[in-house]
């Protein structure tokens, strides 16, 4: 379905980004990976799906490096047809204790990076009259949790950015939508499970149940593969007129 298209997925060396990259590659899209840590393993996983794969290690908190990444993608792949703004970090603390440096980093990586990648991707998408921008927001783009001020502010911001991007391109073949997962068991959430287990003096498995029980009626984690299939839907022709939605995959979290 996506043969000949190129998808750039930020923060795709791990977790949800890697799951989405693999789902798009299974549909034939060439993939540009980004993110920290090991990139050889993820590159090999994508290449095994029979598509072209590239990697750029831009730090998504730095606009100049995002520009370099977009220039690399254009030079090596011709054009970015699908942009998935996924890179993100978390920090948990009350507002009065929240480190200012963590606030700035979360706003830069979880929100401003999407603005920069989007503004740089749009001209070529509009010229081709086809494009998909998928912003990985969160249920925290729609509702709040205590001790996550920067994350909730950034995720509400990215839901707003999604709507504006969708509206500004509504008469074209370029769509923009947000995905809002509940709990997904990735390294980002494992840290919160570990903190809960340590704070309550319980096992890792018990801490997972406590975490799910607080918010997610299904008592199940959503998987990166499931989120990848939602991204594939947005890229399909059935998604041609899906514009500006914030689509939850949250086990009923915000239905309550
Ligand atoms: P993760 O920690 O597994 O992956 C994060 C990715 O972002 C990694 O590839 C990491 O290297 C990359 N990254 C971090 N900082 C970066 C930077 N400065 N520059 C470039 N890359 C950077 O986390 P995840 O759970 O897969 O999270 C992915 C996205 O999904 C985030 O935006 C997160 O907010 C969102 N999300 C996660 C959950 C969840 O339960 N895990 C729920 C809702 C939304």
The CATH number given to whatever domain includes residue 137 is 3.40.50.720
Please work out whether the CB of residue 14 comes within 6 Å of at least one atom of ligand 1. yes
In Å, what is the CA distance from 229 to each residue of 4, 8, 155, 179, 193? 19, 16, 21, 11, 26
Which residues lie closer than 8 Å to 223 by C-beta, 6 or more apart? Answer: 19, 184, 185
Please work out whether the CB of residue 35 comes within 6 Å of at least one atom of ligand 1. yes
Which atom of ligand 1 is closest in space to residue 183's alpha carbon? Answer: 40
Domain membership of residue 229 (yes or no) is yes
Please work out whether the CB of residue 213 comes within 6 Å of at least one atom of ligand 1. no
The pLDDT, as a whole number, for residue 114 is: 99
Residues 108 and 189 occupy one common structural domain: no
Residues 211 and 248 occupy one common structural domain: no
Percent of the chain with pLDDT over 90: 99
Mark the ranges of the chain whose per-residue pLDDT is less than 50. none
Domain membership of residue 203 (yes or no) is yes
Which residues lie closer than 8 Å to 183 by C-beta, 6 or more apart? Answer: 189, 211, 212, 215, 216, 221, 222, 250, 251
Residues 97 and 202 occupy one common structural domain: no
Residues 212 and 101 occupy one common structural domain: no
Residues 42 and 94 occupy one common structural domain: yes
Expressed in angstroms and rounded, the spacing between residue 127 Cα and the centre of ligand 1 is 30
CA distance 90 to 137: 12
Expressed in angstroms and rounded, the spacing between residue 78 Cα and the centre of ligand 1 is 26
The pLDDT, as a whole number, for residue 180 is: 98
Closest protein CA for atom 8 of ligand 1: 11
Please work out whether the CB of residue 188 comes within 6 Å of at least one atom of ligand 1. yes
Report the b/e string of 79-95 with b at 16+ CB within 10 A: bbbbbbbbbbbbbbeee
Domain membership of residue 93 (yes or no) is yes
Residue 126, number of CB atoms within 10 A of its CB: 15
Residues 25 and 93 occupy one common structural domain: yes
Expressed in angstroms and rounded, the spacing between residue 224 Cα and the centre of ligand 1 is 11
Domain membership of residue 127 (yes or no) is yes
**pLDDT tens, position by position, 73-125:** 999 999 999 999 999 999 999 999 999 999 999 999 999 999 999 999 999 99
Residues 189 and 130 occupy one common structural domain: no
Query: What torsion, rounded to 10 degrees, do the Cα atoms 29, 243, 138, 44 define?
Result: 0
Please work out whether the CB of residue 230 comes within 6 Å of at least one atom of ligand 1. no
Domain membership of residue 21 (yes or no) is yes
| Catalytically annotated residues | 151
Closest protein CA for atom 31 of ligand 1: 88
Domain membership of residue 65 (yes or no) is yes
pTM, rounded to two decimals? 0.98
Residues 116 and 201 occupy one common structural domain: no
The pLDDT, as a whole number, for residue 188 is: 87
CA 125-128-134 angle, to 5 degrees, is 30
The pLDDT, as a whole number, for residue 196 is: 93
Residues 169 and 135 occupy one common structural domain: yes
Residues 134 and 214 occupy one common structural domain: no
The pLDDT, as a whole number, for residue 104 is: 98
Domain membership of residue 39 (yes or no) is yes
Residues 134 and 17 occupy one common structural domain: yes
Please work out whether the CB of residue 184 comes within 6 Å of at least one atom of ligand 1. yes
Which atom of ligand 1 is closest in space to residue 110's alpha carbon? Answer: 32
Domain membership of residue 1 (yes or no) is no
Which residues lie closer than 8 Å to 41 by C-beta, 6 or more apart? Answer: none
Instruction: Check if the beta carbon of residue 75 is closer than 8 Å to that of residue 53.
Output: no
Residues 212 and 228 occupy one common structural domain: no
Expressed in angstroms and rounded, the spacing between residue 126 Cα and the centre of ligand 1 is 28
Expressed in angstroms and rounded, the spacing between residue 75 Cα and the centre of ligand 1 is 26
Count: domains in the chain: 2
Domain span at residue 216? 185-221
- What is the DSSP secondary structure assignment for residue 111, as one 8-state letter? I
């Amino acid at each position: 379905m996506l043969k000949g298209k190129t998808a750039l997925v930020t923060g795709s060396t791990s977790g949800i980004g890697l799951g989405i990259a693999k789902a798009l590659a299974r549909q034939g899209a060439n993939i540009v990976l980004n993110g920290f840590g090991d990139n050889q393993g993820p590159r090999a996983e994508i290449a095994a799906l029979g598509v072209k794969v590239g990697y750029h290690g831009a730090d998504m908190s730095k606009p100049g490096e995002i520009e370099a990444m977009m220039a690399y993608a254009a030079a090596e792949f011709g054009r970015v047809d699908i942009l998935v703004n996924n890179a993100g970090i978390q920090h948990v603390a009350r507002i009065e204790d929240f480190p200012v440096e963590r606030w700035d980093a979360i706003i830069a990586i979880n929100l401003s990076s999407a603005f920069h990648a989007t503004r740089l991707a749009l001209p070529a998408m509009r010229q081709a009259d086809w494009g998909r921008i998928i912003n990985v927001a969160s249920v925290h783009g729609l509702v709040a949790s205590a001790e996550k001020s920067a994350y909730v502010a950034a995720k509400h911001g990215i839901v707003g950015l999604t709507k504006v991007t969708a509206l500004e391109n509504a008469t074209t073949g370029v769509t923009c939508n947000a995905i809002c997962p509940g709990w997904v068991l990735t390294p980002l959430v494992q840290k919160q499970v570990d903190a809960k287990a340590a704070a309550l003096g319980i096992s890792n498995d018990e801490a997972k149940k406590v975490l799910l029980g607080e918010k997610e009626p299904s008592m199940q984690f959503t998987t990166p593969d499931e989120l990848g299939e939602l991204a594939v839907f947005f890229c399909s022709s059935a998604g041609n007129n899906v514009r500006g939605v914030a689509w939850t995959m949250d086990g009923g979290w915000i239905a309550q």
